[in-house]
Structure 1
């Protein structure tokens, strides 16, 4: 039941209670009133004004009355009057109650209109569209205070998001630059003619560590970017992105002796092509890295993107934790991953108003399902 319906019910209920109380009070006052103490004689053919007991009645003997005179006692008049007043009051109350409920519905709608404005503004908000404001006009009441508080909260959020954007942009430069310098220095040292075996082993280890750090930083930056939402959108053919990412993973799949089984259709998405490529690439690389030698990766794109591999058995209770940053299964810690793959997949899917979920594969491995809204653009045949 909506708030407007509940308010209308409250208005109607209070009106009915007040109306019933008023009818009861009138009925009680009428019951305690006695207009006459004796009988009333009503003769046929006599004008009603002459029979009104309030206009000055005359006391007569019964023998003086005409033969066709109708005599009514005071108690009968009182009972008839009370019954007439009661039923007319009930009918009037029911009609007034219907009108009161309708008026209550209209008034409740006008009172709650600012709340609908607040809700609509909240629905239009995105990380990259925090310029929406309610700016409610009206008297300084509770609803005006609520709208102004909401606008103030949006101002603080916009400032916070702008600060985060600047931080991510600066961190992208400040973190990548020293790592690139370190990698160059290590490669120069390894290329030196006087480099011995111990130095080469140490340099190889440092290069591997440097590469893992670069991947970790890239993953964190992508995760931060997708969490902020989409700055720009364009039409992207998701099936073409899948083909490109499969080609990029071909060398890794060949090294791991993993084969792909692909079945896709034309699928158009309105979003960020870089983030969508990152989503698909993370899914495919995870499916290859966490697979068994000679395994396979199934990629299907119909109503949603489904990527399944034939890796080791994944406990069902451990699946939700795989979408958290740096959370991996115990037997996966020796791989080259950073624990951000599925976190980025989920974040990018949410940025595109989609969702990502996973479940254990029946024969071992993991099945990841990503639902991305397909655009209404007509696809070519």
Structure 2
């Protein structure tokens, strides 16, 4: 491998001490310099402590020869120390160059991942780093980024579907309103009764759009998470939901069975109330005449549970998960003439996720649906006070 290939990628930026490569190079050079200096110091100290050999002199010039040998030894030690210093300086330069090359080689996969991530946008979020090789820190980092990109791709796809479905749901009543207005304006024989009938239809469409917008706002608000924790009891929320659907349940001749016990939890009481209300409303509305609805709340295994079971049409087991997605209905996209938009259970799922609750749903063999949601249980004394903005 040529030196030019190693130093090629933006050398001017890499020479900045703020880069990891430059810091690693400085660290390598500093460690080698310190270790080399310590080694030379120890070696010099050991050599200096070594006693010179014994010289036998047969005349009176012994002291002079001894002084001469001492001076010669001192000169040799100074020369040796200078040579060692030069060698250390040369090796420091070599270690810096080698440290630079080694740091570049180690950081090359990271630069490759950085360049790949910079090229990923909303249009090609399906691309992955797909780093191969041994299971090391770089491979773990690449796999983590790939997992993040996968979750981001899923979220973006869900967002695109949500926007497309919301646009369709809003466009349909707007188109119908425009058609009604144009029909009324072009009708030269229109009477007061026809104007009144058109106005009533427009009012009904407006109310339907209002319910849709309210559901969309609730869904968006619940997906942001919770900014406060307040106590609530699922039993109280279940009683409220049953009271609000009593008229429709009586009109459908539904048998309502309740097993409601105290089930305290904490979170956003308004969102929790909407969750329970949507569950009960879904069970009552998507039912058969003379069917039944079972509502139960309890505390079990340290969690607060609310469960709603209803009779109704047979639901394919593989379609249960789809019911918790926005704008999904078993009757297809044409099943909209009942004023429903397919957002009820998706709001339930979003609110449950925001509260850290578990959602369990399965289709009943004889028809209908069973949904159970487990909230983290809290005693009223343990629930923190409402946070102030």
Which TM-score band (shorter chain)? 0.3 to 0.5
* TM-score (ref. length: structure 2): 0.46
Larger gyration radius, structure 1 or structure 2? 1
* TM-score (ref. length: structure 1): 0.47
